[in-house]
Amino acid sequence: MSETYVLRRPTYRPGEVDGGAVARSLLHLDSSASRSRDSVSRQLTGLFADTWRGRRGDDRYDYRYRDLAADPVPLISPGFVSLGRRAQRHGPVPLAVVPSLVRGDDEAREWGLTLPLINELLAADTVLLGVPMYNFTVPAALKAWIDRITFPGAFTDPGTGQSLLERTKVVVVEARGGCYRPGTPREGFEFQARYLRAYFTDLGVREENLHFVCAEMTRAADNPALARFRSMGASSLAAARSAVTALAARLPDGEA
């Protein structure tokens, strides 16, 4: 796994107050296997990130980018599971205590792969996810990240038992070749938004801090078999572009 790209050097720690200005941080994760020019989700998350950064003065934010498809997070191995079980037996333990629970090289390696990703998420005020629908759900590249960051107790305050992600804003930008709206024949096949909503709320992200934008019928423009859906695909994309721009412009810097 290679390093995260820090495209904008942080001059403030996330949330740190300096002369009345609050620095904010955006963690941007893409998971499409396609390159930018072909990927609708990448284009939309790029638009969000550009708008979000454009709102802020130079250097008054921390922007981190991770391409989960080009730079996959390694799948969890037995050491991740055994360390996680041990941590669970101790109740929610502070991350700083986990190294004292590590036994053997596999667990040490697993923790070394996991901790930076957890810290990256904890440091983000806003998390931006680019998510294509693959076989009715999220890409395996994103699922590998989810499995790894979901270390027992990592997002629970050991003192209060509260989620450490209560104030984190999560923006999910979805792209899908079909249409799964309520009332359509494939409504019941939708395990992309439904899954991510369940996952993030279970992690403690508040409903009001979870935002979904979706472009549907993304292949209608270049697939002759879907020609009759072209105008639907075009209007869905236009609406998604407006939605991400508006969201990036209005998401509060303060706590939602």
Ligand X SMILES: Cc1cc2nc3c(=O)[nH]c(=O)nc-3n(C[C@H](O)[C@H](O)[C@H](O)COP(=O)(O)O)c2cc1C
163 has binding-site annotation: no
41 is in an annotated binding site: yes
| Residue 5 is assigned to a ligand binding site | no
User: Taking the C-alpha atoms of 97, 148, 6 and 252 in order, what is their torsion angle to the nearest 10 degrees?
Assistant: -90
Q: Closest CB to ligand X among 136 and 195?
A: 136
Nearer to ligand X (CB atom), residue 189 or residue 199? 189
Sites of contact with ligand X (CB under 6 A): 32, 34, 39-42, 132-136, 175-178, 218-219
Q: How far is the CB of 246 from ligand X (least distance, A)?
A: 20
Taking the least distance from each CB to ligand X, the nearer of 177 and 204 is 177
State which residue, 132 or 152, has the beta carbon closest to ligand X: 132
**SS3 at position 142:** helix
Q: How far is the CB of 73 from ligand X (least distance, A)?
A: 18
Residue 21 Cα to chain centre, angstroms: 26
Give exposure, 72-83, as e/b (b: 16+ Cβ within 10 Å).
ebeebeebbebb
CB of 201 to ligand X, least distance (A): 23
32 is in an annotated binding site: yes
Which is closer to ligand X, CB of 98 or CB of 127? 127
Nearest Cα to Cα of residue 165 among 197, 195, 203? 203
Give the nearest distance from C-beta 139 to ligand X in angstroms: 8
Q: What is the dihedral of CA 149, 152, 156, 157, to 10 degrees?
A: -110
Minimum gap (Å) between residue 230 Cβ and ligand X: 14
**Those residues with Cβ within 8 angstroms of residue 66's Cβ, 6 or more apart along the chain or in another chain:** 4, 5, 27, 28, 29, 30, 120
Sign of the C-alpha dihedral computed for residues 190, 41, 177 and 250 taken in this order = positive
Dihedral in degrees, nearest 10, Cα atoms 90, 91, 92, 96? -10
Annotated binding-site residue? 133: yes
Instruction: Please give the structure tokens belonging to residue 140.
Output: 């395996």
Dihedral angle over CA of 138, 142, 148, 150, nearest 10: -50
Nearer to ligand X, 60 or 176 (CB): 176
Question: Minimum Å distance from CB 62 to ligand X?
Answer: 25
Which residues have C-beta within 8 Å of that of residue 168, sequence separation ≥ 6?
Answer: 121, 124, 125, 126, 127, 205, 209
Nearest position to ligand X, beta carbon: 132
Task: Say if residue 135 carries a ligand binding annotation.
Answer: yes
* Gap between the Cα atoms of 103 and 138, Å rounded: 33
Annotated binding site: 32, 39-41, 133-136
Annotated binding site for FMN: 32, 39-41, 133-136
